[in-house]
Protein backbone atom coordinates (compact mmCIF):
# COMPACT_ATOMS: atom_id res chain seq x y z
CA UNK A 1 0.00 0.00 0.00
CA UNK A 2 2.91 2.25 0.81
CA UNK A 3 4.41 1.67 -2.64
CA UNK A 4 1.13 2.53 -4.34
CA UNK A 5 0.85 5.87 -2.48
CA UNK A 6 4.47 6.71 -3.38
CA UNK A 7 3.93 5.97 -7.07
CA UNK A 8 0.74 8.04 -7.11
CA UNK A 9 2.56 10.93 -5.55
CA UNK A 10 5.35 10.77 -8.12
CA UNK A 11 2.85 10.73 -11.00
CA UNK A 12 1.06 13.81 -9.61
CA UNK A 13 4.41 15.52 -9.14
CA UNK A 14 5.54 14.84 -12.73
CA UNK A 15 2.23 16.04 -14.13
CA UNK A 16 2.47 19.14 -12.01
CA UNK A 17 6.02 19.85 -13.20
CA UNK A 18 4.98 19.36 -16.81
CA UNK A 19 2.10 21.73 -16.36
CA UNK A 20 4.24 24.29 -14.58
CA UNK A 21 6.83 24.04 -17.35
CA UNK A 22 4.20 24.54 -19.99
CA UNK A 23 2.70 27.40 -18.09
CA UNK A 24 6.16 28.82 -17.51
CA UNK A 25 6.89 28.88 -21.25
CA UNK A 26 3.51 30.42 -21.97
CA UNK A 27 3.95 32.96 -19.21
CA UNK A 28 7.40 33.87 -20.50
CA UNK A 29 5.96 34.43 -23.95
CA UNK A 30 3.13 36.49 -22.46
CA UNK A 31 5.60 38.78 -20.72
CA UNK A 32 6.95 39.78 -24.13
CA UNK A 33 10.23 40.38 -22.37
CA UNK A 34 13.25 39.68 -24.62
CA UNK A 35 15.63 38.83 -21.80
CA UNK A 36 13.18 36.40 -20.17
CA UNK A 37 12.48 34.67 -23.50
CA UNK A 38 16.21 34.31 -24.25
CA UNK A 39 16.87 32.90 -20.79
CA UNK A 40 14.10 30.33 -21.18
CA UNK A 41 15.41 29.31 -24.62
CA UNK A 42 18.93 28.83 -23.23
CA UNK A 43 17.48 26.60 -20.50
CA UNK A 44 15.63 24.43 -23.02
CA UNK A 45 18.68 24.11 -25.35
CA UNK A 46 20.77 22.93 -22.41
CA UNK A 47 18.17 20.27 -21.62
CA UNK A 48 18.14 19.21 -25.29
CA UNK A 49 21.94 18.88 -25.41
CA UNK A 50 21.85 16.76 -22.30
CA UNK A 51 19.30 14.41 -23.93
CA UNK A 52 21.38 14.14 -27.14
CA UNK A 53 24.46 13.26 -25.10
CA UNK A 54 22.59 10.46 -23.39
CA UNK A 55 21.28 9.17 -26.74
CA UNK A 56 24.84 9.11 -28.12
CA UNK A 57 26.00 7.09 -25.12
CA UNK A 58 23.23 4.60 -25.79
CA UNK A 59 24.12 4.39 -29.54
CA UNK A 60 27.79 3.79 -28.75
CA UNK A 61 26.91 0.97 -26.40
CA UNK A 62 24.57 -0.54 -29.04
CA UNK A 63 27.37 -0.48 -31.61
CA UNK A 64 29.67 -2.22 -29.18
CA UNK A 65 27.19 -4.95 -28.35
CA UNK A 66 25.63 -5.37 -31.85
CA UNK A 67 28.70 -6.33 -33.96
CA UNK A 68 26.71 -7.17 -37.09
CA UNK A 69 25.68 -3.54 -37.59
CA UNK A 70 29.26 -2.45 -38.49
CA UNK A 71 29.75 -5.08 -41.22
CA UNK A 72 29.11 -3.65 -44.74
CA UNK A 73 27.06 -5.81 -47.09
CA UNK A 74 28.68 -6.43 -50.49
CA UNK A 75 28.35 -8.67 -53.54
CA UNK A 76 31.19 -10.51 -55.23
CA UNK A 77 32.05 -12.50 -58.33
CA UNK A 78 34.68 -15.14 -59.03
CA UNK A 79 37.44 -14.27 -61.51
CA UNK A 80 37.71 -16.97 -64.17
CA UNK A 81 40.02 -17.47 -67.11
CA UNK A 82 38.19 -17.05 -70.42
CA UNK A 83 38.84 -16.33 -74.09
CA UNK A 84 39.13 -12.60 -74.71
CA UNK A 85 38.73 -11.44 -78.30
CA UNK A 86 39.41 -7.73 -78.50
CA UNK A 87 37.98 -5.95 -81.52
CA UNK A 88 38.87 -2.60 -83.03
CA UNK A 89 35.75 -0.79 -84.25
CA UNK A 90 36.06 1.45 -87.31
CA UNK A 91 33.85 2.93 -89.99
CA UNK A 92 34.45 2.79 -93.73
CA UNK A 93 32.83 3.15 -97.14
CA UNK A 94 32.29 0.45 -99.73
CA UNK A 95 34.07 1.00 -103.02
CA UNK A 96 35.24 -0.92 -106.06
CA UNK A 97 38.05 -0.59 -108.56
CA UNK A 98 35.51 -1.55 -111.22
CA UNK A 99 33.54 1.68 -111.14
CA UNK A 100 34.39 3.90 -114.08
CA UNK A 101 33.06 6.82 -116.06
CA UNK A 102 34.15 6.15 -119.64
CA UNK A 103 35.40 9.08 -121.73
CA UNK A 104 36.21 8.90 -125.48
CA UNK A 105 39.71 8.67 -126.91
CA UNK A 106 38.63 10.40 -130.12
CA UNK A 107 36.91 13.73 -130.73
CA UNK A 108 33.88 13.87 -132.98
CA UNK A 109 30.14 13.24 -133.23
CA UNK A 110 28.70 10.36 -131.19
CA UNK A 111 26.95 8.49 -134.03
CA UNK A 112 25.76 5.41 -132.14
CA UNK A 113 25.00 4.30 -128.53
CA UNK A 114 24.56 0.53 -128.34
CA UNK A 115 23.70 0.09 -124.64
CA UNK A 116 21.04 1.20 -122.15
CA UNK A 117 21.08 1.72 -118.39
CA UNK A 118 20.96 -1.51 -116.39
CA UNK A 119 22.31 -3.60 -119.26
CA UNK A 120 24.94 -6.25 -118.52
CA UNK A 121 27.99 -6.07 -120.79
CA UNK A 122 31.09 -8.18 -121.25
CA UNK A 123 34.67 -6.99 -121.34
CA UNK A 124 35.55 -5.71 -124.82
CA UNK A 125 31.93 -5.34 -125.92
CA UNK A 126 31.22 -2.33 -128.17
CA UNK A 127 29.30 0.35 -126.27
CA UNK A 128 29.29 3.33 -128.64
CA UNK A 129 30.68 4.63 -131.94
CA UNK A 130 32.13 8.04 -132.85
CA UNK A 131 32.29 9.42 -136.39
CA UNK A 132 35.84 8.82 -137.69
CA UNK A 133 35.98 11.97 -139.81
CA UNK A 134 37.09 10.13 -142.99
CA UNK A 135 39.76 7.95 -141.38
CA UNK A 136 38.24 4.76 -142.79
CA UNK A 137 38.51 6.09 -146.37
CA UNK A 138 42.07 7.19 -145.74
CA UNK A 139 42.87 3.76 -144.35
CA UNK A 140 41.48 2.12 -147.50
CA UNK A 141 43.81 4.26 -149.63
CA UNK A 142 46.77 3.39 -147.47
CA UNK A 143 46.01 -0.31 -147.89
CA UNK A 144 45.97 0.05 -151.67
CA UNK A 145 49.33 1.82 -151.58
CA UNK A 146 50.64 -0.80 -149.19
CA UNK A 147 49.58 -3.60 -151.55
CA UNK A 148 51.50 -1.93 -154.37
CA UNK A 149 54.54 -1.43 -152.18
CA UNK A 150 54.34 -5.08 -151.11
CA UNK A 151 54.23 -6.30 -154.72
CA UNK A 152 57.16 -4.07 -155.68
CA UNK A 153 59.18 -5.24 -152.69
CA UNK A 154 58.52 -8.95 -153.38
CA UNK A 155 59.60 -8.62 -157.01
CA UNK A 156 62.70 -6.65 -156.10
CA UNK A 157 63.50 -9.25 -153.46
CA UNK A 158 63.32 -12.11 -155.98
CA UNK A 159 65.61 -10.22 -158.36
CA UNK A 160 68.04 -9.45 -155.60
CA UNK A 161 68.10 -13.11 -154.58
CA UNK A 162 69.04 -13.92 -158.20
CA UNK A 163 71.78 -11.28 -158.05
CA UNK A 164 69.84 -9.10 -160.51
CA UNK A 165 69.56 -5.38 -159.93
CA UNK A 166 71.25 -3.20 -157.35
CA UNK A 167 71.09 -3.48 -153.60
CA UNK A 168 69.84 0.09 -153.30
CA UNK A 169 66.76 -0.75 -155.36
CA UNK A 170 66.02 -3.69 -153.04
CA UNK A 171 66.44 -1.57 -149.91
CA UNK A 172 64.28 1.25 -151.26
CA UNK A 173 61.46 -1.19 -152.07
CA UNK A 174 61.73 -2.74 -148.62
CA UNK A 175 61.75 0.62 -146.89
CA UNK A 176 58.72 1.83 -148.85
CA UNK A 177 56.75 -1.30 -147.96
CA UNK A 178 57.59 -1.09 -144.25
CA UNK A 179 56.70 2.61 -144.14
CA UNK A 180 53.31 1.86 -145.67
CA UNK A 181 52.72 -0.86 -143.07
CA UNK A 182 53.54 1.49 -140.23
CA UNK A 183 51.25 4.15 -141.62
CA UNK A 184 48.43 1.62 -141.84
CA UNK A 185 49.03 0.48 -138.23
CA UNK A 186 49.01 4.05 -136.90
CA UNK A 187 45.86 4.92 -138.80
CA UNK A 188 44.21 1.69 -137.65
CA UNK A 189 44.99 2.60 -134.03
CA UNK A 190 43.39 6.00 -134.52
CA UNK A 191 40.37 4.39 -136.13
CA UNK A 192 40.05 1.91 -133.23
CA UNK A 193 39.65 4.87 -130.87
CA UNK A 194 36.38 5.78 -132.54
CA UNK A 195 34.87 2.58 -131.11
CA UNK A 196 34.10 2.70 -127.36
CA UNK A 197 34.45 -0.72 -125.68
CA UNK A 198 33.76 -2.00 -122.15
CA UNK A 199 37.00 -2.06 -120.13
CA UNK A 200 35.60 -4.84 -117.90
CA UNK A 201 32.46 -6.91 -117.50
CA UNK A 202 29.74 -5.16 -115.53
CA UNK A 203 26.49 -3.22 -115.61
CA UNK A 204 25.77 0.07 -117.38
CA UNK A 205 24.84 2.31 -114.48
CA UNK A 206 24.32 5.53 -116.43
CA UNK A 207 24.28 6.63 -120.06
CA UNK A 208 25.49 10.20 -119.72
CA UNK A 209 25.81 11.44 -123.31
CA UNK A 210 23.18 10.88 -125.95
CA UNK A 211 23.63 9.96 -129.61
CA UNK A 212 24.37 12.94 -131.88
CA UNK A 213 26.36 14.90 -129.29
CA UNK A 214 29.82 16.27 -130.06
CA UNK A 215 32.36 14.68 -127.71
CA UNK A 216 35.94 15.64 -126.86
CA UNK A 217 38.71 13.14 -126.28
CA UNK A 218 39.40 12.56 -122.58
CA UNK A 219 36.83 15.17 -121.49
CA UNK A 220 33.24 14.25 -122.32
CA UNK A 221 31.75 11.58 -119.97
CA UNK A 222 29.90 8.98 -122.02
CA UNK A 223 28.90 6.04 -119.81
CA UNK A 224 29.27 4.96 -116.19
CA UNK A 225 29.93 1.23 -115.80
CA UNK A 226 30.16 -0.73 -112.55
CA UNK A 227 30.93 -4.29 -111.50
CA UNK A 228 29.48 -5.25 -108.08
CA UNK A 229 31.25 -8.62 -107.94
CA UNK A 230 34.56 -7.31 -106.61
CA UNK A 231 33.71 -4.90 -103.80
CA UNK A 232 35.89 -3.85 -100.89
CA UNK A 233 35.95 -1.44 -97.95
CA UNK A 234 38.75 1.05 -97.52
CA UNK A 235 39.35 2.76 -94.18
CA UNK A 236 42.06 4.39 -92.08
CA UNK A 237 43.53 2.68 -89.00
CA UNK A 238 45.45 4.51 -86.21
CA UNK A 239 49.18 3.82 -86.35
CA UNK A 240 49.12 2.32 -82.82
CA UNK A 241 47.52 -0.79 -84.36
CA UNK A 242 50.10 -1.23 -87.12
CA UNK A 243 51.49 -4.43 -85.55
CA UNK A 244 48.08 -6.00 -84.91
CA UNK A 245 45.93 -5.03 -87.90
CA UNK A 246 47.61 -6.97 -90.70
CA UNK A 247 46.67 -8.83 -93.85
CA UNK A 248 44.55 -11.91 -93.16
CA UNK A 249 42.99 -10.70 -89.89
CA UNK A 250 39.34 -11.61 -89.35
CA UNK A 251 36.81 -8.80 -89.78
CA UNK A 252 33.07 -8.62 -89.08
CA UNK A 253 31.36 -6.06 -91.32
CA UNK A 254 27.96 -4.60 -90.46
CA UNK A 255 25.81 -2.69 -92.94
CA UNK A 256 23.29 -0.75 -90.77
CA UNK A 257 21.16 0.30 -93.75
CA UNK A 258 20.83 -3.27 -95.03
CA UNK A 259 20.61 -4.94 -91.62
CA UNK A 260 23.27 -7.31 -92.90
CA UNK A 261 26.46 -8.71 -91.32
CA UNK A 262 29.25 -10.61 -93.09
CA UNK A 263 32.51 -12.22 -91.98
CA UNK A 264 35.55 -11.52 -94.11
CA UNK A 265 39.28 -10.75 -93.90
CA UNK A 266 41.74 -7.93 -94.48
CA UNK A 267 43.07 -8.33 -98.01
CA UNK A 268 45.64 -5.55 -97.86
CA UNK A 269 47.26 -3.39 -95.17
CA UNK A 270 49.20 -0.29 -96.11
CA UNK A 271 52.92 0.00 -95.39
CA UNK A 272 52.98 3.82 -95.22
CA UNK A 273 51.84 5.97 -92.28
CA UNK A 274 50.05 9.15 -93.33
CA UNK A 275 51.93 11.98 -91.53
CA UNK A 276 48.85 14.23 -91.59
CA UNK A 277 46.63 12.00 -89.39
CA UNK A 278 49.02 9.20 -88.29
CA UNK A 279 46.98 6.42 -89.91
CA UNK A 280 47.48 3.70 -92.49
CA UNK A 281 44.97 2.30 -94.99
CA UNK A 282 43.50 -1.17 -95.13
CA UNK A 283 41.25 -2.90 -97.66
CA UNK A 284 38.64 -5.46 -96.61
CA UNK A 285 37.03 -7.86 -99.09
CA UNK A 286 33.23 -7.70 -99.41
CA UNK A 287 31.59 -10.82 -100.88
CA UNK A 288 28.55 -9.61 -102.83
CA UNK A 289 26.85 -12.51 -104.57
CA UNK A 290 23.37 -11.06 -104.17
CA UNK A 291 24.51 -7.60 -105.38
CA UNK A 292 22.89 -5.93 -102.35
CA UNK A 293 26.04 -4.03 -101.36
CA UNK A 294 26.50 -0.82 -103.36
CA UNK A 295 29.47 1.55 -103.78
CA UNK A 296 29.74 4.30 -101.15
CA UNK A 297 27.57 2.36 -98.67
CA UNK A 298 28.55 3.02 -95.03
CA UNK A 299 29.90 0.03 -93.11
CA UNK A 300 31.02 -0.69 -89.54
CA UNK A 301 34.10 -2.85 -89.15
CA UNK A 302 35.03 -4.96 -86.14
CA UNK A 303 38.59 -6.19 -86.50
CA UNK A 304 39.87 -8.93 -84.18
CA UNK A 305 43.25 -7.33 -83.43
CA UNK A 306 44.05 -9.24 -80.20
CA UNK A 307 43.14 -12.59 -78.60
CA UNK A 308 44.00 -13.94 -75.13
CA UNK A 309 42.76 -17.52 -74.55
CA UNK A 310 43.25 -17.26 -70.76
CA UNK A 311 42.23 -13.73 -69.85
CA UNK A 312 40.94 -12.45 -66.49
CA UNK A 313 38.20 -9.93 -67.19
CA UNK A 314 36.66 -7.55 -64.61
CA UNK A 315 34.08 -4.75 -64.85
CA UNK A 316 35.67 -1.33 -65.23
CA UNK A 317 33.30 0.02 -62.57
CA UNK A 318 35.06 -1.83 -59.72
CA UNK A 319 38.53 -0.44 -60.49
CA UNK A 320 39.82 2.53 -58.50
CA UNK A 321 43.01 4.57 -58.77
CA UNK A 322 45.28 5.87 -56.01
CA UNK A 323 47.27 9.11 -55.82
CA UNK A 324 50.24 7.46 -57.58
CA UNK A 325 48.11 6.54 -60.57
CA UNK A 326 48.05 2.84 -59.65
CA UNK A 327 44.88 0.89 -60.31
CA UNK A 328 43.48 -1.42 -57.65
CA UNK A 329 40.55 -3.68 -56.78
CA UNK A 330 39.31 -5.29 -53.58
CA UNK A 331 39.12 -9.04 -53.03
CA UNK A 332 37.54 -11.01 -50.20
CA UNK A 333 39.80 -13.43 -48.34
CA UNK A 334 39.43 -15.73 -45.34
CA UNK A 335 35.66 -15.99 -45.80
CA UNK A 336 33.88 -17.79 -42.97
CA UNK A 337 30.78 -19.96 -42.94
CA UNK A 338 28.61 -16.92 -42.18
CA UNK A 339 29.89 -15.32 -45.44
CA UNK A 340 31.95 -12.73 -43.58
CA UNK A 341 35.47 -12.14 -44.86
CA UNK A 342 38.35 -9.69 -44.89
CA UNK A 343 38.83 -7.04 -47.57
CA UNK A 344 42.24 -7.02 -49.26
CA UNK A 345 43.38 -4.26 -51.61
CA UNK A 346 45.21 -5.55 -54.71
CA UNK A 347 47.26 -3.35 -57.07
CA UNK A 348 46.65 -4.57 -60.63
CA UNK A 349 47.94 -4.01 -64.13
CA UNK A 350 45.33 -3.74 -66.86
CA UNK A 351 45.33 -4.34 -70.59
CA UNK A 352 42.71 -3.75 -73.24
CA UNK A 353 39.09 -2.85 -72.73
CA UNK A 354 36.05 -4.19 -74.55
CA UNK A 355 32.69 -2.71 -73.74
CA UNK A 356 32.26 -2.66 -69.94
CA UNK A 357 35.08 -5.06 -69.10
CA UNK A 358 38.85 -4.73 -68.95
CA UNK A 359 41.62 -7.31 -69.08
CA UNK A 360 43.70 -7.76 -65.89
CA UNK A 361 47.29 -8.69 -66.72
CA UNK A 362 48.80 -9.14 -63.26
CA UNK A 363 48.10 -9.94 -59.55
CA UNK A 364 44.60 -11.43 -59.92
CA UNK A 365 44.57 -15.22 -59.94
CA UNK A 366 42.01 -17.53 -61.45
CA UNK A 367 39.33 -18.15 -58.80
CA UNK A 368 39.87 -14.93 -56.83
CA UNK A 369 36.70 -13.46 -55.26
CA UNK A 370 36.41 -9.78 -56.20
CA UNK A 371 34.04 -7.26 -54.66
CA UNK A 372 31.47 -5.96 -57.13
CA UNK A 373 28.67 -3.97 -55.48
CA UNK A 374 30.14 -1.97 -52.62
CA UNK A 375 33.67 -1.85 -54.08
CA UNK A 376 33.77 1.94 -53.76
CA UNK A 377 32.76 2.03 -50.08
CA UNK A 378 34.99 -0.58 -48.39
CA UNK A 379 38.51 -0.26 -46.99
CA UNK A 380 41.56 -2.49 -46.88
CA UNK A 381 41.40 -4.86 -43.90
CA UNK A 382 37.71 -4.25 -43.23
CA UNK A 383 35.31 -7.08 -42.39
CA UNK A 384 32.45 -7.44 -44.86
CA UNK A 385 29.55 -9.79 -45.44
CA UNK A 386 28.89 -11.30 -48.87
CA UNK A 387 25.21 -11.36 -49.85
CA UNK A 388 25.30 -12.65 -53.43
CA UNK A 389 21.79 -13.07 -54.82
Where residue 314 falls among pLDDT bands split at 50, 70, 90? very high
Q: Is 52 helix (H, G, I), strand (E, B) or coil?
A: helix
* CA pair distance 69, 67, nearest whole angstrom: 5
Q: What is the pLDDT of residue 235?
A: 93
Q: What are phi and psi of 302, to 5 degrees?
A: -120, 110
Whether 45 shows a pLDDT value over 90: the answer reads no
Helix (H) or strand (E) holding 361: strand 357-362
Q: What is the CATH number of domain 91-97+227-307?
A: 2.40.30.170
Question: Tens digits of per-residue pLDDT, 99-119?
Answer: 899 999 999 999 999 999 989
C-alpha radius of gyration, the chain, whole number: 48
- C-alpha distances out from residue 233 to 236, 285, 306, Å: 10, 7, 21
Report pTM.
Answer: 0.56
Q: Residue 332 CA to chain centroid, in angstroms?
A: 37
Q: What is the pLDDT of residue 19?
A: 43
Whether 347 shows a pLDDT value over 60: the answer reads yes
Q: What is the pLDDT of residue 12?
A: 41
State mean pLDDT over 234-254. 91
* CA pair distance 241, 261, nearest whole angstrom: 24
According to DSSP H, which parts of 214-275 are helical? none
Q: What is the pLDDT of residue 155?
A: 84
Q: What is the CATH number of domain 70-83+309-386?
A: 2.40.420.20
Strand partners, 204: 225
State mean pLDDT over 156-173. 83
Q: What is the pLDDT of residue 69?
A: 54
Question: Tens digits of per-residue pLDDT, 323-332?
Answer: 899 999 999 9
Q: What is the pLDDT of residue 236?
A: 93
Q: How high is the mean pLDDT of the chain? A: 86
Q: Residue 58 CA to chain centroid, in angstroms?
A: 61
Quote helix, strand, coil % in the chain, to nearest 5. 30, 35, 30
Whether 226 shows a pLDDT value over 50: the answer reads yes
State mean pLDDT over 30-41. 84
Q: What is the CATH number of domain 99-225?
A: 2.40.50.100
* CA pair distance 228, 288, nearest whole angstrom: 7
Q: What is the pLDDT of residue 141?
A: 87
State mean pLDDT over 168-190. 87
State mean pLDDT over 219-233. 91
Q: Please work out, in degrees rounded to the nearest 5, the angle formed at the alpha carbon of residue 169 by the alpha carbons of 171 and 188.
A: 50
Whether 11 shows a pLDDT value over 60: the answer reads no
- C-alpha distances out from residue 303 to 176, 253, 359, Å: 66, 9, 18
Q: What is the pLDDT of residue 68?
A: 52
Question: Tens digits of per-residue pLDDT, 53-103?
Answer: 888 888 777 766 765 556 888 999 999 999 998 989 999 999 988 889 999
Whether 163 shows a pLDDT value over 90: the answer reads no
Amino acid sequence: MKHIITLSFLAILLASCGGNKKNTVEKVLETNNLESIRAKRTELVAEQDAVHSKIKLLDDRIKTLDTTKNVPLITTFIAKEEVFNHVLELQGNVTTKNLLVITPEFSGILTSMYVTEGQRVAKGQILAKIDDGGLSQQLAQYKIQADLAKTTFERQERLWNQKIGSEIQYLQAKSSYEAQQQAINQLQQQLNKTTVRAPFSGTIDDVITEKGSVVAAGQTPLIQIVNLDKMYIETDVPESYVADVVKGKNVTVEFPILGKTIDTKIRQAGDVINPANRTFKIEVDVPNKDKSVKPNLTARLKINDYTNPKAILVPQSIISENADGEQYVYVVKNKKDNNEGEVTKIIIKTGRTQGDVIEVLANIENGAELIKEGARSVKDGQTVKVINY
